[in-house]
Amino acid sequence: MSLPPIDLAVFHDNGYVRKQCRVTSLWFWTCDEARETCGDTPEDEYTFIGAPLIEGFDQRGKALKDAMREAFLGYFTDREHTRIDPYPVLARWRDDIHLTIASIADFQPHVTSGAVQPPANPLAVSQPCIRLTDVDAVGRSGRHLTTFEMMAHHVFNRPDDGLEIYWMEECVEHCHRMLTETFGIQASEITYVENPWCGGGNAGAAVEVIVGGLELATLVFMDMEEHPDGEVELKGDRYRTMPLQIIDTGYGLERFCWAAAGTPTIYEAIYPETVAWLKQRSGFDNVANRWPSLDLDRLLSEMSRLNGIMNIEAGVDGEKLVNIFLKRLAERGVEVSAEQFSSITEPLANIYAIPDHLHALCNMLGDGLVPSNAKAGYLARMLARRVLRMRDELDIQVPLTELATHHLDVNLGGQLNKQTRDGLLTILALEEERYIEMLRKGTNVIQTQLKSLPKEATEIPDGHLFTMNDSHGLAPDMVITLARHAGWNSVTLRTGFSAEMAERHARMAKEAATANSGGGHVLDVAGYPATTPLYYESVYLPTFEANVLGCQSAEGLGPEGATHAVVLDATLFYPEGGGQEGDRGRLQQNNVGVDVLDTQKIGDVIVHFTNGPLDGSPNIEGHLDWKRRKQLMDHHTAVHIVGGAARRLLGPHIFQAGSHLTVESGRLDITHYHRLNRADLDAMEDMANEVLSDVRATEKSELNRRDADMVHGFDLYQGGAPKGDSIRILKIAEHDIQACGGTHHDEPGQIGSIRIVRSSAVQDGVERLHIVAGEAALAYARSQDELVRLSSEVFGVHGDDLPKAAARFFKEWKEQRKLIEHLESEIVRLRTSGGGDATTDVDGVRVVVMEIDGDLKSMTTMLKELTLDAAQPTLAVLGSKDGGGKLMIGVTENTLASERYNAVDLLRSISSHIRGGGGGRPTFAQGGGSYAEGLGDALDAAREQLGL
């Protein structure tokens, strides 16, 4: 079964009729009798270019967006909707996506699953979003953006609980009234297209709202979830109705602005100052002068109309696209050559994309993101690099920081969510430095990679292009440009290469994804009720009493040595979570005791892994390994304190990227754009220890999620996205506030002391702090003392003098090694200059066959000494009993000696005497064996062959 028609009174009341689209076959509603297409087809041109469909908005740029946003939100707040503040673009509350991609993303997964109440109901919001999937089309299509605001009204109905705010009828009515009354759009211009929506395991009926050939909004009525027995089938999956009915709408703020401005592209409507500025700086205005006969205005307006009906998506081959454009333009009476076309559209695409990318970048960094080479940080770096590349293509000599300053002031009103202006500019300056460094390195790499390629070559081998892109960050067309500068003047990029490379990446990603799937073995705890956590009541209790609910065999499921899994009705044992390791200790029955080796949480059930079974009686007494627990608490609370210190000292971009607490140490990963030095660590360490003495008590509280978000914001979720509705919060005065389910001290002073041992890099943009606290800090200090003591004993100096002594010894060692080398070669010279028994003259060639004491190194020196002098042609055969026997043969190159003798042949014929092999070049061969006693025979064989 598919979905029934969307037949609403609001359509009939406004004179709309249901038709089927001639092109797409989709059903749609229109009040234009002549209309045969749904509006969003290759036959529907944009009708608003030069003829705005939305009236009363004369502003442009930021002012236009602000006015449009207020008009939208005002309509809904006047009609009982609560306006909520937008969420960050960095989706910290989710672990499945990095960026906020839609307004509904604010409420996933917990509100949409029904676990958590929405912040308001119904609500209206204008949510900044970032989508990077179509990043290649931005600037080229006239309408694609990586960052946009999704205006929305959301409703969360629970019909079973009697909560029904409104559904399709009222939703569409709101939409229709707003479009026609608030925005003055002619009803005849609007079509409502029925097109069911599904995604992420949910589905529902949906209506696309098309105005003037442009999709202005989508209204989704999500009331189904994926289920194998579902009655409704959509795109191959089956769905059934669910208890929650959600209205998910999305109105494109920027598209409203565009429809109100009627500019050739969306970019001119929302970033007019930047577009003008870039045109001026890049000298684009002069382009038209190059071809006086060309009507640039006419060309651009025809192009923007064409853009509306041509599906310019990422991955479309550039050259093919140009040809289609030229043909279509010619049909419309605009004659333009391919050269003219590219010289206009290529810079224009960059001019349009730069403000869009800057907007996304400022939003991301403004939320505290730190650029990196992995995860979300990479997305920021990619955008920064694209901007820099486009800037260079436009040949604008403006630093990235200046571009950002302009964007910040002109298009963002100087407002950043979290990051400071200085912080943003520092980060971008670093990104530009990295980019320049990459280009410099890349030029070198190209020189080396292309060394074997003749200068007349017309193509660079695919393998080189792939390597340079994937490993060195140089896109194929950049490689071509750099190669031409480096002297390969005729190389070009094969048509379609970029598409091939994208395909290759997609294939690789797919392979990696399939290779990665595979589930782990887990314990089955279904049927047990949630375990009551006693550790929150007081973190200082060492013993407790509880009832055994179950004890099952768990061989291989827990840590090494664990044989059983015990489930209790309540426990003091903290299960591993939030980076804190699970508690250990002992469970005691009347006469049976088992050790708890680890504690884990599976769902709401806490599992104790033990080294033996319990005897079956219900009551047990639990004894915590309190010393261990205390140490884990020391480290955990210390990590919070150090994290707070880092944020205060380094900036608002400091976010916890991970943590791990063990008995030995605590580990805290923080996001930062620089490597940390010892001075940074010392400052944090000082501040952390001040907190220990200044803050008398920590505050622990529990809030529902909605209140937690509202009171503390999303910085609360340093430890990752929380799962349930109820959030435990640890507040250490104003120093650090975050959601954390771990066990923490009531008084920071109980930790004793905190040391930041060192920092290391996890990835670019993430710094790992190694922390010891409490007893562990003491143990660490002792072990360091021990290292110093042992080392200074070796040198026979006092610990304070250790660095100086080590430096002196290292220096002397180097000097002496040098001296030994000199002396060795001197000895060789002395031994060889005199000649002696080992030397014979054979028809003008000095032949030396001798056994020496020494390793390969000194043999080499000796052989060098014997055979490097061209004035004295020499064949030298050296043998040593070192390490199973070594043989080395050399002849003086380019002399009588090298004409007459072949070192390799000679070596091969005698090396069998020492039971080994060898090889080399005709003028130099070396080998070895495992039978040193045969060395004499080997040398004799050599003499024999040489006729001595």
Partner RNA sequence: GGGCGCUUAGCUCAGUUGGAAGAGCGUCUGGUUUGCAACCAGAAGGCCGGGGGUUCAAAUCCCCCAGCGUCCA
Smallest distance, RNA to C-beta of residue 435, A: 7
Smallest distance, RNA to C-beta of residue 942, A: 16
Nearest to 7 by CA among 205, 273, 225, 269: 205
For 244, other C-beta atoms within 10 Å of its C-beta total 20
Which of 445, 607 has the CB closer to RNA?
A: 445
Which of 17, 374 has the CB closer to RNA?
A: 374
How many residues in the chain? 948
Residues lying near RNA in the complex (CB under 7 A) are found at 373-376, 378-379, 381-382, 385, 434-435, 437-438, 440-441, 444-445, 448, 467, 469-473, 505, 508-509, 512, 516, 675, 760-761, 763-764, 814, 818, 856, 860, 863-864, 867-868, 883-884, 886, 890, 893, 916-921, 923-930
Secondary structure (H, E, C), 916-931: EEEEEECCEEEEEECC
Which of 174, 886 has the CB closer to RNA?
A: 886
Which of 340, 892 has the CB closer to RNA?
A: 892
Q: How many angstroms separate the first and last alpha carbons of the chain?
A: 101
Q: What 8-state DSSP symbol labels residue 163? A: B
Residue 392 in tokens: 């260079």
Which of 539, 925 has the CB closer to RNA?
A: 925
User: What is the distance, to the nearest Å, from the Cα of residue 112 to the centroid of all Cα atoms in its chain?
Assistant: 27
The amino acid that residue 255 corresponds to is: R
Residue 101 in tokens: 């991609």
> What residues pair up with 20 in beta bridges, in sequence order?
27
Which of 185, 863 has the CB closer to RNA?
A: 863
Which of 440, 782 has the CB closer to RNA?
A: 440
Peptide bond into 109 cis (omega under 30): yes
Which of 441, 789 has the CB closer to RNA?
A: 441
Smallest distance, RNA to C-beta of residue 130, A: 13
Smallest distance, RNA to C-beta of residue 478, A: 10
Smallest distance, RNA to C-beta of residue 321, A: 19
Phi, psi of 492 (to 5 degrees): -135, 165
Nearest to 663 by CA among 739, 584, 717: 584
What residues have CB less than 8 Å from 944, skipping those under 6 apart? none
Smallest distance, RNA to C-beta of residue 660, A: 12
Which of 140, 154 has the CB closer to RNA?
A: 140
Element (H, E) at 46: none
Nearest to 400 by CA among 414, 416, 383: 383
| Whole-number CA gyration radius for the chain | 38
For 485, other C-beta atoms within 10 Å of its C-beta total 11
Element (H, E) at 597: strand 593-602
**CA-to-CA distance for 755 and 757, rounded, in angstroms?**
6
Smallest distance, RNA to C-beta of residue 88, A: 18
For 841, other C-beta atoms within 10 Å of its C-beta total 9
Q: Three-class SS of residue 738? A: strand
Smallest distance, RNA to C-beta of residue 700, A: 30
For 588, other C-beta atoms within 10 Å of its C-beta total 17
Smallest distance, RNA to C-beta of residue 917, A: 4
Nearest to 768 by CA among 639, 662, 577, 581: 639
Which of 431, 625 has the CB closer to RNA?
A: 431
User: Longest Cα pair distance anywhere in the chain, in angstroms?
Assistant: 120
Counting runs of H as helices and runs of E as strands, what totals does the chain give? 26, 32
Which of 74, 201 has the CB closer to RNA?
A: 201
For 790, other C-beta atoms within 10 Å of its C-beta total 9
Which of 44, 669 has the CB closer to RNA?
A: 669
Smallest distance, RNA to C-beta of residue 108, A: 18
Please state, in angstroms and as integers, the Cα–Cα distance from residue 464 to each residue in 181, 399, 474, 480, 805, following that order.
Answer: 59, 31, 11, 11, 50
Which of 552, 912 has the CB closer to RNA?
A: 912
Which of 25, 448 has the CB closer to RNA?
A: 448
For 321-335, give one letter per residue: b (16+ CB within 10 A) or e: eeeebbebbeeeebe
Smallest distance, RNA to C-beta of residue 793, A: 19
Residue 797 in tokens: 């100096």
What residues have CB less than 8 Å from 418, skipping those under 6 apart? 88, 366, 367, 368, 652, 653, 715
Residue 883 in tokens: 């390490």
Smallest distance, RNA to C-beta of residue 441, A: 5
